[in-house]
């Protein structure tokens, strides 16, 4: 029975989506650190490249939502981007101002302090298409080299995952599916991924997740009862913006 999971066991079935955005700016040092301190072992982040090819934690290529800046991260040098505060002013106002941009190398230093942690590094398509897959992959691999055994590469772009395998970079590669029909695509089969990421909204109601070709990490889940139901249906893990709140709900229900 899933509800019989201890709070620790339940937390190990969660993936902290961009850290802890329910309380902190997404992809921030503060949010990731707080999630790790809470005991979460699985962290997901987003990567874009700056104009000088430095991988940074950033979901949007355009910075208006994250910084209130009419700028494109791909056209900014690292020094220019570090002059902005990534505190999500529209959503969080000035609660976390200033919130510095975190480089992937800086994130790796943080993750290295938690040997049990696993980092899922989503390589964003906007940077792949702008700089080219080889350029982005080389920059990401270099930044992750100190914690290579703790990392997996994930992306909607299957070609970059195939390239990572062809280059024998040593990272597990995990596709983020556009839809559930992709479960059966030959391109996915060739990857032989340990699991796949899929959107909750793409799942059929009451779909048996143990009957699909790959273990599923289901994202866009914020409700505790929904999370428990998905685990009972066979989800490998649940990815959420509010893992801390899900853990608190589980502790209260236990």
pTM above 0.75, yes or no: yes
- Print the domain residue range for 30: 2-253
- pLDDT tens digits, 43-91: 999 999 999 999 999 999 999 999 999 999 999 999 999 999 999 999 9
First-residue to last-residue Cα distance in the chain: 12
Q: What is the mean pLDDT of the chain?
A: 97
| Omega before 98 within 30 of 0, i.e. cis | yes
pLDDT of residue 206: 85
Q: Classify residue 18 by burial, with Cβ atoms within 10 Å: 0-12, 13-18, 19+.
A: buried
Work out whether strand 42-49 and strand 118-123 pair parallel, antiparallel, or are unpaired: parallel
Number of domains in the chain: 1
The enclosing domain of 86 has a CATH number of 3.20.20.190
């Amino acid at each position: 029975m899933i509800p019989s999971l201890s709070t620790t066991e339940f937390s190990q079935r969660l993936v902290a989506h961009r850290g802890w955005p329910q309380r902190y700016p997404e992809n921030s040092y503060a949010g990731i650190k707080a999630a790790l301190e809470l005991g979460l072992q699985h962290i997901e982040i987003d990567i874009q490249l700056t104009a000088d090819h430095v991988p940074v934690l950033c979901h949007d290529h355009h910075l208006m939502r994250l910084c209130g800046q009419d700028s494109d991260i791909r056209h900014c040098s690292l020094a220019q981007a570090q002059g902005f505060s990534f505190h999500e002013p529209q959503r969080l106002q000035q609660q976390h101002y200033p919130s510095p941009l975190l480089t992937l190398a800086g994130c790796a230093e943080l993750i290295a302090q938690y040997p049990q942690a696993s980092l899922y590094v989503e390589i964003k398509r906007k940077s792949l298409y702008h700089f080219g897959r080889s350029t982005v992959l080389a920059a990401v691999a270099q930044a992750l080299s100190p914690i290579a055994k703790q990392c997996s590469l994930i992306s909607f772009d299957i070609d970059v995952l195939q390239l990572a395998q062809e280059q024998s970079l040593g990272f597990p590669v995990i596709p983020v599916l556009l839809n559930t029909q992709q479960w059966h695509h030959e391109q996915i089969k060739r990857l032989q991924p340990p699991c796949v990421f899929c959107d909750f909204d793409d799942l059929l109601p009451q779909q048996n997740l143990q009957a699909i070709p790959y273990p599923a990490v289901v994202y866009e889940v914020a409700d505790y009862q929904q999370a428990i139901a998905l685990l009972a249906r066979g989800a490998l893990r649940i990815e959420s913006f509010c893992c801390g709140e899900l853990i608190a709900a589980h502790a209260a229900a236990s």
